[in-house]
Amino acid sequence: VSTQSTWGLHFVAASEISVMASPHLADEIFFNHDDGTRVKPLKAQKVTIVGVGQVGMACAFAILSQGVAKEIVLADVMEDKLAGEVQDLQHAGAFMPARITRASADYAETAGSDVCVITAGVRQQVGETRLSLVARNLEVLRGMVPKIVKNSPDVIILVVSNPVDILTYVTWKLSGLPASRVIGSGTYLDSSRFRTLLAERVAINPQSVHAWIIGEHGDSSVPVWSGVNIAGVPMAQHLDQGEGLEWKEIHKQVVAAAYNVIKLKGYTNWAIGAAVSGLARTILRDEQRVVPVSTLVKGCHGVDKDVCLSMPCVLGRNGVTRLLHMPLSDAEAGAFRASSEAIWSVQADLKF
C-alpha cells in the first residue's frame, strides 16, 4: 500500500520495502545512516531502564501498561527505592500485559537487553538550562555505559537524561557502538507539543497536524514552519499573511513548556514516559517509522562536526538507519547549523 508524503513523494509499507523500494529514490529522500550492522532477531523483547526517578518510573509504567515489552528490568544505585518501586509495580501484575522480573544495582541482571533506556542523572533545577547539566551528568554516564554494553552487546541505547543531545554523543563515545544504535529522545516530545499547540489553534486532533521540531532539545531548537501542514495543506501561506508573529509564539511555548512544568511540580515525567514507550515500541516491533530523535548529524544541512541533534529518522530494530533529507528554508537550515554550534561549544572540551 503506497502513501503520499507532504512533498508528493510516495512511500510504501515497511513490509514491502525490500521488494519495492527504489534505491535511486531512497538516495534522494534520505541521508544513509546504516553501517550495515545487523543485530540478532528479537526473542525476549527485554527493556532495561536505568534510573528509577520520576522519569524512569513514568517510562516503566508506560511500557508496562501498553505491553510494549515482555520483560522490564530496572537498575539503579538507590537499592531501597529500587526495591520499593519494583514491588509497587509488581502488585499491579494482574492488570499489566508485561512483567518486571528483576531489579538490581548489578548490571549483570540487564544482560541480553534489546533496548536500554537511560534516565539516570542529576535533576534539572528551576531555571537551569539543559546545557548547564552536562558536567554533572558526564560522570554518571561514565560509570554505567560500559557495563550496559558489556552485558548487552546487541543493545540499542535510548538516552533520555538531559542535556539529551550532548549526553547522546557522550554515550555513543563511551559505548563503542555504531552511531545508529545510540539515540536520544531529542525533539520527539517537542514535536508532539508543537503539533498539540498548533492543533488547538485550529480545533482539530493533533494527529492530523504534521509538524517537526529539529535541532537541539532545548533553547536553540528549530521549528520547521515551511513543512507544517494539515492533511497536506501547507500552513506557510497563512504565516506569510500577517499572522506569522502570532503563530510563531507557539514555538516559544514549546521551548518554555518543560521549564513551566518544572516550576509548577518540580519535574516532568508523564509526557516523556509516553514518548519513550512509543520509541521503544517502534524499535522492538521494527516499525520503520519516521520520528524526530537525536542522532549523529555530521554531513546534514551543512553540519561539519560530530554532534547529535534531532532530525526525522527512520527507526526500527537496527536503530536509526536513515535520516530524512528534509527540505528546509535558508533560515531554517541556518538555525539548524547554529543549533549544532551551540551544542559543539559545550561538548568540544569534554574529555573521555
In angstroms, the CA 72 to CA 69 distance is 7
In angstroms, the CA 198 to CA 34 distance is 33
Q: Which helix (H) or strand (E) covers residue 314, if one does?
A: strand 308-316
217: annotated active-site residue:
yes
In angstroms, the CA 78 to CA 211 distance is 40
CA dihedral 88, 94, 95, 96 (to 10 degrees): 80
**Cell numbers standing for residue 4:** 503520499
Q: Which residues contact 91 (CB under 8 A, 6 or more apart)?
A: none
In the set 33, 210, 217, 301, the catalytic residue is 217
Judge contact between 159 and 294, C-beta under 8 A. yes
3-class secondary structure, 128: coil
* R_g of the chain, CA atoms, integer Å: 20
In angstroms, the CA 21 to CA 10 distance is 10
Judge contact between 340 and 310, C-beta under 8 A. no
Judge contact between 229 and 195, C-beta under 8 A. no
Strand partners, 322: 32, 314
Neighbours of 129 (CB within 10 A): 13
Neighbours of 217 (CB within 10 A): 29
Q: Which of 199, 190, 191, 155 is nearest to 175 (CA)?
A: 155
CA dihedral 344, 324, 29, 335 (to 10 degrees): -50
Q: Which of 8, 38, 34 is nearest to 23 (CA)?
A: 34
In angstroms, the CA 309 to CA 304 distance is 13
Active-site annotation, residues: 217
